[in-house]
Amino acid sequence: MEMITRPRRLRSSENLRRMVRETRMDPSSLMYPMFVMEGTDKVEEISSMPGQYRYTVDRMEEKLYRLADAGVGSVMLFGIPNDKDEVGSGAYAENGIVQQALQKAKQAVPNLFYVSDVCMCEYTSHGHCGILHGHDVDNDKTLDYLAKIAVSQVQAGSDMVAPSDMMDGRVAAIREGLDRNGYTNTPIMSYAVKYASAFYGPFRDAADSAPAFGDRKTYQMDYHNSREGIKEALLDVEEGADIIMVKPAMSFLDMVARVREVVDVPVATYSVSGEYAMVKAAAANGWIDEERIICEMAVSAYRAGTNIYETYFAEEVARFMKEGRIG
């Protein structure tokens, strides 16, 4: 039998496989989500996310040093305040928990790039991502608050803001607010394609951000829809988004690929808490090889077209890249 084309030729050795590898990865493209809480001298493990912790500001340095040493490029900060109210005032307070964390982190480990989540769900007494009108989130009234949050975070040292609320028009409102205050060079990474997903469950435990009533399906996307996601991504680019986020990652890599094809800005994806929790639970039962699964999940995101991979496994993935196991 004569065969001219034999794909296996390029798989015959490790050196050759690495030489022709289509997907290349670097630790600098990794982003780690970090939870900071009020108080002192506390590190609390998150029960639904074994190996992940909430840190008080005075205890976050050790983790930041490890991330920097591993080569991870950036950290996204999520705040957990002691007190909440109807308008989420802790999110834009000068001495809010994220503002405190940004100031401390920038001083302690300045070579990391710090991103701040712009949302209200962790700070509102009702757990929704905006200002309520009855039992509905008032989209347009919320925009002023989101812009105020973004400006406050940048004033505290945030290198980039990441609105995750899914209000219509919020990128334009934040861009206008930042520019008006002199922050024309601060980029916006928009959670443009964020689905109403069951994969967020452990995060809501970690951030104490579950809604007190109802759900978020009137503002987060229906996971049956893909064309709608393209519309959201293009709208946010028009409004000034510098990076487009697709969330979650694992079940929505088709959207990463589709968004990558239509936008001319970098694309990010977030491997969310539910993905992490499933891997840890299955590995604890001996059902999977945890390290190999982590590698496959990361590679699949990059293969789909992501430029930035946000994951709770960022430190591990960076190590695997340096060891040559992936990337």
Catalytic residues: 194, 247
229-237: long-range pairs with CB below 8 Å, 24+: 229/192, 229/193, 229/255, 229/258, 229/259, 230/258, 230/259, 230/262, 232/192, 232/193, 233/192, 233/193, 233/259, 233/262, 233/263, 234/262, 234/263, 235/192, 236/171, 236/190, 236/192, 237/263, 237/264, 237/265
For residues 204, 30, 303 and 217, what is the CA-based torsion angle, rounded to 10 degrees? 20
CA distance 66 to 288: 26
Q: How far is CA 168 from CA 18, 41, 152, 179, 215, in A?
A: 44, 39, 21, 19, 17
- The residue type of 27 is P
Nearest CA among 60, 55, 31 for reference residue 45: 55
Handedness of CA 307, 205, 161, 177 (dihedral sign): positive
Residue with tokens 């995750």: 164
